[in-house]
Amino acid sequence: MDVARRAGVSQKTVSRVLNDEPYVSAEVRQRVLAAAAELGYRLNTAARALASGRTGSIGVVTLGTALYGPVTMLMSIERAARDAGYALRVVNTVEGDPDGITAAVNSLVEQGVDGVVVSEPIDEGAFSFRPDVPVLVLGMPAAFFAPPAVTVPGHAAQAARSATEHLLELGHLTVHHVAGPARWYAAGDRLRGWRAALAAHGRPEPPVIEGDWSAASGRAAGRRLAADPGVTAVFAANDEMAVGVIRALVEAGRPVPAEVSVVGFDDIPLAAYLNPPLTTVRQSFDAVAREGLAHLLRAIEGPDAAPPPAGDPPVELVVRGSTAPPPA
């Protein structure tokens, strides 16, 4: 309004300039920009959202923990969203809250977002809501939701399989698995990959020990594993648990990797600096976030939006010092 007067144009023209719309003469554009700068003018997001129906922000549902995987995914989503011109709203799901994800998505929709990303999906039975914006669920088997939901599968199963095969190729007769909580889809993926590798090689499948992603739970699992002299190789569903397993093994006098090999999952930044350096699987959170967001933006903006990047996100086994052939 003030800017319009000062630049001697209509309010709508100011709007056009500030939104980079076409059909504004260069001269007028300059004049408006100058006036806006002088007045320290800022577009009011609330008014824009009210008038346009779009908020320019997307919401993320994430875990309220410092675990590497979820946190890195959040950071990657932030970057991808910002690059696409969207602001981010974040809601943590609280541990133990029964319908945490549903509630979190709802709160985001109420806050006003153009789309929602569910970063670490947990099986809560059915998602009992009909959000009126697109929802992207990361790391989920497709076709689990009706639109407007969109899913991006993730490649953890395949990666888990190659981690297990690495151990098998080293000469281990079988591989034990310390899984994540059963309700986490991410845990299921890894479990499936491990199982597939064992089956493909005709190896016996030892009972699964379930952890909660934490190093403490890894250590508890490791204690049970250490008591069984038949255990020579362990695949943990994330690096934190792998660290706990190694700790328990070492405490029990079973050196890693001399007696028992351990591989983790995620490649936390510390992995290369541990004693021993941790063999693990690295996945590109950035790639997954970027691909997922591209899908989400299509659902929001329509088919004119940039098409999602093609190609598999890189997943790679990083062999370091925590794996070796089994003792003779």
Partner DNA sequence: TTGAAAGCGCTAACAG
Partner DNA sequence: CTGTTAGCGCTTTCAA
Alpha-carbon distances of 275 from 2, 64, 186, 272, rounded to whole Å: 64, 28, 27, 9
Return the range that interacts with DNA (CB under 7 A); candidates 45-53, 64-72, 115-123, 128-136.
Answer: 45-53
Bridging pattern class, strands 115-118 and 135-138 = parallel
- By C-beta, is 46 or 328 nearer to a second copy? 46
- Reading the block at residue 264, the tokens are 């983790």
Minimum CB separation from a second copy for residue 173, in Å? 27
Minimum CB separation from DNA for residue 47, in Å? 3
- Residue 319 found at the interface with a second copy (CB under 8 A): no
Query: Can you spell out the DSSP letters for 114-144?
Result: SEEEE-S-B--SS-----SS-EEEET--SSS
- Residue 33 found at the interface with DNA (CB under 7 A): no
Question: Radius of gyration (Cα) for the chain, nearest Å?
Answer: 25
Look at residue 11 and give the partner it binds from a second copy, DNA, none, a contact being a CB closer than 5 to 8 Å depending on partner kind: DNA
Minimum CB separation from a second copy for residue 107, in Å? 8
Q: Using CB under 8 A, which of 243, 260, 289, 324 touches a second copy?
A: 243
Q: Using CB under 7 A, which of 5, 11, 107, 306 touches DNA?
A: 11
- Reading the block at residue 193, the tokens are 């990959």
215-226 vs 239-251: helix crossing angle, rounded to 10: 40
Q: Using CB under 7 A, which of 43, 142, 200, 270 touches DNA?
A: 43
Q: How far is the C-alpha of 66 from the C-alpha of 68, rounded, in Å? A: 6
Nearest to 73 by CA among 154, 142, 134: 154
- Residue 18 found at the interface with DNA (CB under 7 A): yes
Q: Using CB under 8 A, which of 272, 307, 314, 327 touches a second copy?
A: 272
Query: Can you spell out the DSSP letters for 46-61?
Result: HHHHHHHS--SEEEEE
Q: How far is the C-alpha of 195 from the C-alpha of 161, rounded, in Å? A: 8
Q: Using CB under 7 A, which of 15, 92, 158, 162 touches DNA?
A: 15
Q: Which amino acid is at 75?
A: M
Q: Using CB under 7 A, which of 10, 30, 111, 275 touches DNA?
A: 10
Q: Report the interface residues with DNA, using CB under 7 A.
A: 1, 8-13, 15-16, 18-19, 22-25, 27-29, 41-44, 47-48, 50-53
Q: Report the interface residues with a second copy, using CB under 8 A.
A: 42-47, 49-50, 55-57, 64-66, 68, 71-72, 75, 78-79, 82, 87-92, 107, 109-112, 214-216, 218-219, 240, 243-244, 246-247, 250, 268-270, 272-275
